[in-house]
């Protein structure tokens, strides 16, 4: 069964490009619909019930975060993957905390994008190197940081830190696995756990980035 993908981006040219790229990759991905605005997107998602929504971060009327806020409570089984040209921390962290399962930049190759879509559809997280860097930064122990209220959520384990570092260095999951002598499945578990912490932790850095986008 192929993964059903819904595209949300306000540039129709870009949607057409991504659609062509994904169709060319392989038969596992099927683009079932697309939308150019927040309203269209929420309606389309409700109507088509796709597996994965490819979501542009920057759009009029609130952007990808707004789509997430309206669509996620209604359709919790739909998975969102954020896609953006911007690499600003507040954008990236904002969509992740709004519920996206991953973040990739628009410069990603078609094959990589295909892999990322399949990965999120299977319930795993997808971190671009930049996102891994932001998360490492947010969870860094620096002098004068706000006190930790919930160690379970506010701290990364050393292993998670290792995985994030290698992600930030541009390693693929398979390369990380062989570098750390663990299985790809374990790498995925670590990344998912980091994603959960990034979404739920109340660390000052994360809330600050998110609040810059008026999300918390």
- Of the candidate spans 32-40, 42-50, 58-66, 133-141, the one that interacts with other proteins by CB under 8 A turns out to be 133-141
Q: How many residues does the chain have?
A: 216
The angle subtended at Cα 97 by Cα 92 and Cα 101, nearest 5°, is 80
Please say whether the beta carbons of 90 and 62 come within 8 A.
no
| 170 belongs to the binding site for other proteins (CB under 8 A) | yes
CB of 59 to other proteins, least distance (A): 24
Enter the tokens of residue 61. Answer: 């009327």
CB of 133 to other proteins, least distance (A): 4
| 162 belongs to the binding site for other proteins (CB under 8 A) | no
| 136 belongs to the binding site for other proteins (CB under 8 A) | yes
CB of 204 to other proteins, least distance (A): 16
Strand pairing category for 79-84 and 3-8: unpaired
- Would you call 173 helix, strand, or coil by DSSP? helix
| 144 belongs to the binding site for other proteins (CB under 8 A) | no
The sign of the torsion formed by the CA atoms of 106, 111, 117, 122 equals negative
- Which residues here bind other proteins, judged by CB under 8 A? 107, 129-130, 132-133, 136-137, 140, 142-143, 165, 168-171
């Amino acid at each position: 069964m192929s993964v059903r993908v819904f595209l949300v981006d306000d540039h129709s040219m870009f949607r057409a490009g991504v659609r062509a790229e994904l169709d060319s990759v392989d038969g596992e991905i099927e683009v079932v619909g697309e939308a150019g605005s927040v309203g269209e997107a929420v309606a389309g998602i409700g109507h088509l019930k796709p597996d994965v929504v490819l979501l542009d971060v920057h759009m009029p009327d609130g952007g990808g975060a707004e789509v997430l806020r309206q669509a996620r409570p209604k359709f919790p089984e739909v998975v969102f993957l954020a896609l953006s040209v911007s690499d600003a921390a507040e954008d990236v962290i904002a969509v992740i905390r709004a519920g996206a399962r991953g973040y990739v930049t628009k410069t990603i190759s078609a094959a990589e994008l295909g892999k990322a879509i399949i990965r999120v559809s299977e319930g795993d997280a997808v971190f671009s190197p930049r996102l891994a860097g932001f998360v490492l930064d947010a969870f860094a122990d620096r002098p004068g940081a706000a006190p930790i209220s919930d160690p379970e959520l506010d701290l990364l384990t050393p292993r998670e830190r290792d995985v994030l570092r290698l992600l930030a260095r541009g390693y693929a999951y398979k390369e990380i696995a062989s570098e750390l002598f663990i299985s790809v499945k374990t790498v995925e578990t670590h990344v998912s756990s980091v994603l959960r912490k990034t979404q739920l932790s109340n660390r000052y850095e994360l809330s600050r980035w998110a609040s810059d986008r008026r999300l918390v």
